[in-house]
Amino acid sequence: MIDLKFLRENPEIVKQNIRNKFQDSKLPLVDEVIELDAKARAAQQEADALRGNRKKISKEIGALMGQGKKEEAERLKEQVAKDAQRLAQLEEQEAELQEKVKNIMMVIPNIIDPSVPIGKDDSENVEVKRYGEPVAPDFEIPYHAQIMESFQGLDLDSARKVAGNGFYYLMGDIARLHSAVISYARDFMIERGFTYCVPPFMIRSDVVTGVMSFAEMDAMMYKIEGEDLYLIGTSEHSMIGKFIDTILKEEQLPQTLTSYSPCFRKEKGAHGIEERGVYRIHQFEKQEMIVVCNPEESPMWFEKLWQNTVDLFRSLDIPVRTLECCSGDLADLKVKSIDVEAWSPRQQKYFEVGSCSNLGDAQARRLKIRVTGKSGKYFAHTLNNTVVAPPRMLIAFLENNLKEDGSVSIPKALQPYMGGQEKIVQK
């Protein structure tokens, strides 16, 4: 959510930003906000004047009563009663107008960074850099579900009976590999100075609307029936929510946290749920990283966060590339975003395994995350990034470490988390 004062003073900048995001249907909202805000401020000014006049008249009534001028005092009392009635109307009107302004401001997209490439959708995202040499082996690489099943490590049929499409059972070495990757990612981030955290896996609606747009909320979140609770789609939601309605001291920044959680997503939209496989699913586990910092340091932390993911994947011998998200592919709260994509030898192309985002002060404004320092109070900046999200990451891991005999080699960095195993073999 952008600053209302900024919108009021720079409506054309806000409109051009909307055009850059190819959301022209939202252009009328800018003028609507300005009009509603003007009415709200006018109501507030009239109400303030009535409150000030009420104090003045109250003193006059007291003086008149002391002088025995009861009739004049009664006339003033009648005026006070009329003013009180008008004040109540104005306060109600002001509250309604402010609520309308707030609801519209929640829909107007955040101002994107000038460096973001302009494009309509993810097909116009821009490759930044490749890390590691992508390899296509001489032998055929099976579909990832087949690789997992060859180790008796995946049971989709039983999961479908229990929960429906988009769920899975991981078994044996594949399940152990899944847990090993999560544990390795946790320690990887701790070694880089992040504080480990296991957050709540459900959050209230005020946190949901504080961390994401309404469109994202509808497409992603599962609501608990009869409760003001939602299952998290990523631990970023509850990790940023940890700071709701707080005032941090400058010396407490940056807050750098890495968190583990299960994640739950509806996965609405064009992609749908795969019939077989674990690429797009309703439930998965994830290691996340978030930063709460001052505005001057957020560009630096943005670079550090996506680099962490690149370094982790390279430590497991998986080639990756970074992709700059274009304007039309950015969610409304995001200022800038870079996706990390892993190489798929089977498809001979890259696919997304993580996303790093700088949200500026958008989440902080919604959640009232403030900082107090020498220059006064201001809103913090928030950033988030995926460390690793198996089982999707396992697709890249298995394909890149699969041998011709059907075994999968375990990189040295991961071997301690696999009981010293150097490879897993088919059952």
Give how far the C-alpha of residue 108 lies from the chain's centroid of Cα atoms, to the nearest Å. 16
Dihedral sign, Cα of residue 354, residue 218, residue 269, residue 213:
negative
Helix axes 172-191, 298-315, angle to 10 degrees: 140
Which residue's entry shows tokens 């008796």? 152
Which residue's entry shows tokens 């990887």? 188
Q: Which of 213, 259, 355, 357 is catalytic?
A: 355
Active site residue 352: yes
Supply the DSSP string of 246-279, one letter for each residue: EEEEGGGPPEEEEEEEEEE----SSS---SSSSS
Active site residue 355: yes
Q: Which of 41, 130, 276, 280 is catalytic?
A: 280
Q: Which of 265, 346, 365, 366 is catalytic?
A: 265
Residue 233 contacts residue 264 (beta carbons within 8 Å) = yes
Angstrom CA distances, 403 to 173, 190, 231, 407, stand at: 16, 32, 39, 5
| 3-state SS, residue 159 | helix
Active site residue 265: yes
Active site residue 280: yes
Active site residue 19: no
- Residue 38 Rama label (left phi>0; alpha psi -120 to 50; beta): alpha
Instruction: Report which of 350, 334, 416, 394 is spatially closest to residue 113, judged by C-alpha positions.
Output: 334
Residue 213 contacts residue 107 (beta carbons within 8 Å) = yes
| 3-state SS, residue 320 | strand
Rounded Cα–Cα distance for residues 391 and 181 (Å): 10
Instruction: Report which of 167, 190, 212 is spatially closest to residue 1, judged by C-alpha positions.
Output: 212
Q: Which of 352, 370, 407, 409 is catalytic?
A: 352
Instruction: Report which of 170, 148, 167 is spatially closest to residue 222, judged by C-alpha positions.
Output: 167
Rounded Cα–Cα distance for residues 399 and 347 (Å): 10
Q: What are the residue numbers of the active site?
A: 265, 280, 352, 355, 392
